[in-house]
Amino acid sequence: MTNHHADGTGCPADHKHTSSGKPLHPDCPGRAYTRAICSCGGWEMEESGKGYVNECRKRHLASHTQ
């Protein structure tokens, strides 16, 4: 899972945010979206809600064990 600014650049882990995604780091324009891509090649997701992306990622990974 990776976080991104609106211009597509990566939002590094040291750019902390509030739970609503507002930046706490002075040089961060804000997290615009989170992307997750599975190495199986059959699933990827890009959404503004980091928690939602993570939950969907976990569900997808669980489908690999079935």
* pTM attached to this predicted model: 0.83
- Say if residues 10 and 4 touch (Cβ distance below 8 Å): yes
Tokens of 31: 């997290």
The C-alpha angle with vertex 39 and arms to 42 and 18, in degrees rounded to 5, equals: 100
- Say if CB 18 and CB 28 are below 8 A apart: no
Q: Specify the number of domains making up the chain.
A: 1
Task: Tell me which residue range forms the domain holding 38.
Answer: 2-63
Comparing CA positions, the residue from 35, 11, 34 lying closest to residue 23 is 11
Q: Would you write out the chain's pLDDT as a tens digit for each of its 66 residues? A: 999 999 999 999 888 988 777 899 999 999 999 999 999 999 999 999 889 999 999 999 999 986
pLDDT at position 22: 82
27 DSSP 8-state letter: T
Residue 39: per-residue pLDDT: 95
